[in-house]
Amino acid sequence: MKTKSYFLLLFVLAASLVGCNKYDTIAEEVIVGYMAPQVYWNVESSTVTAGNPVPFTTQYYTTGTSPITKLEVWYSVKEDISKVVSCPWTVTFSYSYSSAVNELKRISQLVSTYEQNSDYWNDSLHAYSFNATFPTSNTLSSTSWNKPTSFDSLKMVSYFGPDFMTEFKDSLYGLMQVKDFQKMYEGLGLVEHFNQYCDSTINENTGQWDYYFPGDTIPTAIADIYKSIPFSDLIYNSSNANYDVEYNRTYLLDAVIKCYDEQGTAGTGLTKEITLN
Q: Are 173 and 226 in contact (CB under 8 A)?
A: yes
DSSP letter at 215 equals G
The stretch among 124-132, 191-199, 203-211, 245-253 that binds another protein (CB under 8 A) is 245-253
| Residues listed for the chain | 277
- Distance from C-alpha of 181 to C-alpha of 213, rounded to nearest angstrom: 11
Three-state SS at 129: strand
Nearest approach, Cβ of 106 to another protein (angstroms)? 5
Specify which residues 98 forms β-bridges with: 84
131 binds another protein (CB under 8 A): no
110 binds another protein (CB under 8 A): yes
C-alpha pair distances (Å), 237 with each of 92, 102, 165, 214? 17, 28, 17, 30
Cβ proximity to another protein: between 18 and 223 the closer is 18
Contacts of another protein in 145-174 (CB under 8 A): 146-147, 149
Which CB, 197 or 258, lies closer to another protein?
258
List the one residue out of 64, 158, 71 whose CA is nearest residue 112: 71
| Residue of 106, 122, 157, 221 that binds another protein (CB under 8 A) | 106
Among residues 107, 110, 133, 116, which one has the least CA distance to residue 39? 116
Distance of CA 239 to the CA centre of its chain: 30
* Among 4, 16, 33, 192, contact with another protein (rule: CB under 8 A): 16
Contacting another protein (CB under 8 A), which of 25, 27, 47, 202? 47
Q: Least Å distance between CB 132 and another protein?
A: 16
Residues at the site binding another protein, with contacts judged by CB under 8 A: 2-3, 6, 9-10, 13-14, 16-17, 20-22, 44-47, 49, 51, 77, 79, 82, 84, 94, 103-107, 109-111, 135-140, 142, 144, 146-147, 149, 238-242, 246, 248, 250, 275, 277
